[in-house]
Chains A and B, each alone.
Chain A
Amino acid sequence: MRFLNGSFYFDRRILGAALAFIAVVCGSLASPQAQQPATPTAQSAAPIHTPPYPTVAPPPAQRTGLNIVVLDPSHGGTDPGARGAQGIRESDLVLDLTFQVRRALEAQGFQVLQTRNGNENPSFDDRSTLANAQRGAVFVTLHISSTGLPGTVRVYALPDMPSRASAGGILSWDFAQASYVTLSRKFGDAVQGQLAQRFKGSPNNVQTASVRQLRTTAAPAIAVEISSVSVQDRSDLDKMMPGVGDSIARGLAAFRPSYVLPTEAGVQP
């Protein structure tokens, strides 16, 4: 009985090993032919496992540099943001603006992620999370104001923050921006400089304001705000959008060389 039992298990193990061996052989025979038309460069490499969620593959050049731009169309969903006289809603306009900015950035070779693509309203933290999960990213939140001189654009970065943020090498979520404030202002100055040339009446330098969205973002982060929803016609704002996109792309290209990850400077472990 014991012997029989033992031999039974032995047989099953043999059977399992044989099946596994056959599967491996079949797989190795089938996979090069199946993958050849799809990926001709990866002939001898192991099969590539693709995750079920979309990711941005790091480009080969400048691996530690600035590669990704996270664009944040503000508001959305139940939150329309600023509202103008003719049913103009900030949440709709910034989505159009995002597509224009995206086009200009992609033309410069940047990869772009968006915190929302439709009319939904992720939380401030959710929006920051998308940027914080990337390496080598900058964050731009896009707004249309209710006040100010129509036809001007302002760029905002955070004022100085408490240094508790990086105490003990741990970055506090609530003050995630603390180590990036200087870089954010540099980035903001580069973009504001471009905007000032194109949109007369805009300031020459980045402004500081405690914008909630920027505080929890662990990347160089700016807010860009166009004035304003109080225009007579929506087309006045639509006309500005390609120029704003181009200015952000040019500013970002100018800022790119000065982008050094704080992790490389040893702030984070």
Chain B
Amino acid sequence: MNGRWRTWLLASLCVVVVIAAIYFPKLKRKVKTSAEITQPSEEQARRELTTATPPNPADPRLKAKMFWASDEDESALSPIAVDLALSPDPVLRAKQVLNTLLAGPVNSDLRTLPPDAALLAFYVLPDGTGIADFSEAFATSTPSGIQSEELAVDSIARTLEANVSQIKRLKILIHGQEVETLAGHLDLTQLFIVNTKAAQPPTLSYGLPLKPASASAASVAPNSSKTAKSKEPKR
């Protein structure tokens, strides 16, 4: 009785193994094909998100100022007027000007951003901080160096300043992440001041309590030293 029961058990286990051997490769193939189906659709969705917003014919055509490298001095920026139908919405407007900036000038030697870089997203916070999310190519293809990295960021900041008055500060993300430097030199953990005249201390405390250029740390330091000194004798 006992021996018979054991053989039955072994036989049924064998059957299970055979079924599994047939079924698992099939299942594997199924998973593979389903992954292949979803991948292009994700890519498509991403492309739909990152494509330049189509110009609305109702928007007025304006001369947008694009800051590309200067003809005379490659290390300086100079504005070039480009005819664009700019949206009144700051987010759409910022996307439009940044995509134009990324596309580059007629003379490709004067471009400030790598040709393979893309703007993935752009947000504007209520306090006037613009957040620009670029693809990884922005970090990997920008030539390494203080001068080249500064030129790239400066061209973005000045183009935003000239065309989107609502943006006062700029935060640059790479593929949705905060990175320490752009290509080894320029600090991307900080906010860049875009509109030097309008930049007020932000009301939100998510980041840095930046002050406008006039109220710099340097000008505050002597005051604090005076107050510290004047307090001392009273003790």
Instruction: Name A residues whose Cβ lies closer than 8 Å to a Cβ of B.
Output: 74-75, 79, 81-83, 90, 124, 143-149, 154, 156, 159-166, 169, 175, 178-179, 181-182, 207, 209-213, 215, 223, 225, 227-228, 262, 265-267
Contact of A149 among B74, B216, B221, B224 (CB under 8 A): B74
In the complex, are the beta carbons of A147 and B143 less than 8 A apart? Answer: yes
Majority-rule SS of A interface residues = mixed
Once bound together, how far apart are the Cα atoms of A90 and B210, in whole Å?
A: 33
Q: Is the CB of B225 within 8 A of A266?
A: yes
A175 to B143, CA, bound (A): 27
In this complex, what residue of A is CB-closest to B185?
A211
B45 at the binding interface (Cβ < 8 Å): no
A147 with B145, Cβ < 8 A, contacts A162-B208, A166-B221 known:
yes
- Judging by beta carbons under 8 Å apart, are A209 and B146 in contact? yes
| 8 Å CB contact of A267 from B180, B184, B225 | B225
Q: A166-B224, A210-B192 are in contact. Are A148 and B218 (CB under 8 A)?
A: no
State whether the Cβ of B228 lies closer than 8 Å to any Cβ in chain A. yes
State how many angstroms separate the Cβ of A211 from the closest Cβ of chain B.
Answer: 6
Cβ-closest chain B residue relative to A123:
B180
Query: Can you give 25 A-B contacts (C-beta < 8 A)?
Result: A82-B144, A82-B145, A90-B144, A143-B145, A145-B145, A146-B148, A147-B74, A148-B75, A156-B146, A160-B211, A160-B218, A162-B208, A162-B209, A163-B217, A164-B208, A166-B221, A181-B218, A209-B185, A210-B190, A213-B185, A225-B147, A265-B221, A265-B225, A266-B224, A266-B229
| B side interface size, CB within 8 A | 38
**CB neighbours of A81 from chain B (8 A):** 144, 184
Q: Cβ of B180: which chain A residues have Cβ within 8 Å of it?
A: 124, 212
Closest Cβ–Cβ distance, residue A164 to chain B (whole Å)? 6
Min Cβ gap B62→A in Å is 30
Give complex CA distance A156, B145 in Å.
12
- Contact residues in A for B127 (Cβ distance below 8 Å): none
Scan residues 189-230 of chain B and give those whose CB is less than 8 A from a CB of chain A.
Answer: 189-190, 192-193, 208-211, 213, 215-218, 220-222, 224-225, 228-229
Are B187 and A215 in touch, CB under 8 angstroms? yes
Given A162-B208, A265-B225, A225 and B146 contact (CB-CB distance below 8 Å): yes
Within the complex, the shortest CB–CB distance from A93 to chain B, in Å, comes to: 12
The answer for the CA separation of A25 and B70 in the assembled complex, in Å, is 80
Question: Within 8 Å of chain A (Cβ to Cβ): is B92?
Answer: no
The answer for the CA separation of A160 and B216 in the assembled complex, in Å, is: 5
> In the complex, A152 Cα to B114 Cα: how many Å?
24
B-side contacts of A212, CB under 8 Å: 180-181, 185-187, 189
Q: Does B150 count as interface, using CB distance less than 8 angstroms? A: yes
Contacts of B147 in A (CB 8 A): 145, 147-148, 154, 225, 227
- CB of B150, distance to nearest CB on chain A (Å): 4
Bound form: Cα–Cα A146–B147 in Å: 8
B213 touches A160 (CB 8 A): yes
B108 smallest CB distance to A (angstroms):
15
Chain A: which residue is nearest B193 at the CB level? A159
Query: Cα distance A209–B145 when bound, in Å?
Result: 11
Q: A154-B147, A210-B190, A265-B225 are in contact. Are A163 and B75 (CB under 8 A)?
A: no
User: Which of the listed residues B144, B190, B192 has the most CB atoms from chain A within 10 Å of its own CB?
Assistant: B144
Among the interface residues A160, A165, A267, which one has the most CB atoms of the partner chain B within 10 A? A160
Knowing that A145-B146, A182-B218, A223-B146 touch, tell me 4 more A-B residue pairs with CB under 8 angstroms.
A209-B186, A212-B187, A227-B147, A262-B221
